[in-house]
Amino acid sequence: MRAAVAAKAPPRLDLSGSRAAIVFGALALLFAGLAARSVWLQAVEDDFLKGQGAARHSRELEVPAHRGRITDRHGEALAISTPVKSLWAFPSRFSATAAQLAELARILETTPAALRRQVEAAGDFVYLGRRIPPEAAERALALRIQGLNDENEYRRFYPGGEVMSHVVGFTGDRDAGQEGIELAQQPWLGGVAGSRRVIIDRRGEVVEDVAAVRAPQAGRDLALSLDSRLQFVAFRELKAAVEQHKAKAGSLVVLDVSSGEVLALANWPAFNPNRRDKVERDRMRNRAFTDTFEPGSTMKPFAIAAALDAGIVKPSTPIHTQGGAMTLGGHTIHDAHPHGVLTVEEVLQKSSNIGTAKIALQLPAEGMHGRLAAAGFGAPARAGFPGEVSGRLRPAKGWKPIEQATISYGHGISANLVQLARAYTVFATDGELKPATMFKSAAAVAGQPVFRPETARAVRRMLEMATQPGGTAPKAQVVGYRVAGKTGTAHKLDGKTYGNKYVASFVGFAPVSAPRIVVAVMIDEPSAGQYYGGAVAAPVFSSVTGASLRLLGVPADAPANNVILPPEEAQVREET
C-alpha cells in the first residue's frame, strides 16, 4: 500500500549542475534584453514614439485671429468680422450613413455626391463647410456623424456693399485680403493666427483641449479717408451718368484740397463683395487707380501754367489760332471751332488746341516735361492702393514738335483719374502738389511747389471762366458756389490709330474763393449721342460738388442765382 502511494508522487525538478546555470542565464538574458529595449525606447526613440502617439491621438489646430475693422473717417464700419463656424473632418475617420449625409448636405446647401467627392479627394484633413452660421453648425453636429468636428472662425461682412467695393476690396477663404485695402493692409488688419492642441478619439472627434500652443493676436482697426456720405453721392451720380449715356464704364474721385485725402472714390460697373460667387473679374477692377486714359483738354492748364511760370506769356498775351487749323511736320491739328486771335486766358476758356500748342511750343521740351513730371504725371500717386499704375510720360529728348504740341492738349500722354485729380491740387492751392492718400489724416499736409502762387491763381481764374457762358463747361456750375475746372474729350486709341470712341472727362474744384475739394469725373465710351466732356462729365461734377460742399458745411461764396446757362439753342463751345 505504501509502495503504491510512493509511486504516484509528482516528479521533482532537478536544477542541479549545468542545467540550473542554463535556465538562470536565459532568464537573465531575457530581462537584460527587456531592460535594454526599455532604455532604447525611452532614450533613443522617445521623440519618434511620442510623435507617433500624437499623430494618432493629438492634433494642432489653427485658432483664427479677429481681423481689424475698416471704417470711414467718421468711424462708420466699412468691413467687420462676425463669428461663424466651420465644419471639418479627418477623411480616414469620417463615416456617415446615407441619411446623415443627405441631411448634412441639406444644411450646407450642397449635395451628398459633392460631399463624398470632397472627402475622397482630400488628404489628411478636409473642410466640409466654411464660415457657416453657428446655428447651422449646431444642427450639423446634432446629426452625430462620426469624425465631424467644428471650429470657430470669422466671416467678413461689408455693410457698404457695391458702393464701397472697389476701395475696401474683400478677403478670401482664409480671411486674407484679396483686393483693395483688405489686400494692401493685410499685415495691419490680419493679425496673427494662434493654435491649440487637442486630443481626438478613435472616431476622429475632439474629446479634449490639451493646451493653447499660441494665442492669436487680433488685427488692428483702420480708418480710411473716405466720407461715407460723399461716397454714396458720388456712386449714385456716376452710376446714373454711365447708364444715361450708355457708357462702357466710369470713375469719379473727390479729394480734400488741404490734406490730399480721398473723400470719395467710385467706379461703375461695381460688384457686391458680400456675394462674389458669380462676379466677373472685370467688375472688380478699381479703374480710378488701375486704368489709364489720354486726358485730353484737361491737360491744357498745365502747359499754359508752365509758359506763364517761365514768363513766356501773360494771361492777356494774344495768340493767333489760325482759323482753327495748323500743320506741324506734315500733321494738321484742328480746333473744334475756328477762332482768330485769342488771349491766353481765352485759349483755355474756349479750349483751343492750336492756341495751347503754340503756347507750349515756345517752351523748351525739357522744361515742359519737368513741369508735367513735377505735377505727378508719369509716376504713381502712391495713395496706398494696390495695383496703382503710373501712366505714361515719355522722356522729352524724344519729343518732336508735333508730339510736344499734342501732349499739351492731352494726347500722347496717359494718366489714371487719381493722378489727374491730384495734379489739379496745384491750381486749387497756391501752386503746391498735395500727396494723395486713402487714409485719414489728422491735419493739413504740406505739398511740393510746382508753380509760383501768382501762376496758380492766374490759371484758377481761367478755369473759372471755362465754367461760365462762353466756356466749354457751363453745365459744371453749382448753385451758391463758384467753381473752376476743365473739360476733356479724347479719342481712344484703337491699336495704333484713333478710332471713333471717346473718353469724356471733367476735373475741377470749389469753392473758388477758398478751394475745399477737387472732383474728377471720367466717362468711358459714352454712346447715347453725346460724348463731349462738357455735356457728359460736367453735369456729374456739378451734382457731386454741390452735394459734397453742402454735406461738408462749406459756406456759399456766390448768390443763389449765380448759375447762368446758355440757351438750349445756343452753340456750346466744345473741345476735341
Question: Which residue out of 297, 408, 414, 505 is catalytically annotated?
Answer: 297
Other beta carbons within 10 angstroms of residue 239's beta carbon come to 19
- The β-bridge partners of 59 are 198
Q: Map grid coordinates 542545467 to a residue.
A: 19
Q: Map grid coordinates 493692409 to a residue.
A: 185
Residue 411 Cα to chain centre, angstroms: 28
- Of 144, 104, 157, 96, which Cα lies nearest the Cα of 128? 104
Q: How far from 115 is each of 126, 186, 206, CA to CA, in Å?
A: 10, 32, 21
What's the CA gap between 419 and 371, in Å, rounded? Answer: 14
What's the CA gap between 574 and 475, in Å, rounded? Answer: 12
What's the CA gap between 524 and 526, in Å, rounded? Answer: 6
What's the CA gap between 338 and 323, in Å, rounded? Answer: 5
What's the CA gap between 227 and 205, in Å, rounded? Answer: 48
Q: Locate all alpha helices (DSSP H) within 58-179, ordered by sequence.
A: 98-107, 112-121, 134-141, 165-168
Q: How far from 236 is each of 160, 229, 242, 519, CA to CA, in Å?
A: 13, 11, 10, 15
- Of 249, 237, 241, which Cα lies nearest the Cα of 524? 249
Is 95 catalytic? The answer is: no
Quick check: 490 and 291 in contact, CB under 8 A?
no
- The β-bridge partners of 264 are 254
Instruction: Indicate which residues carry an active-site annotation.
Output: 297
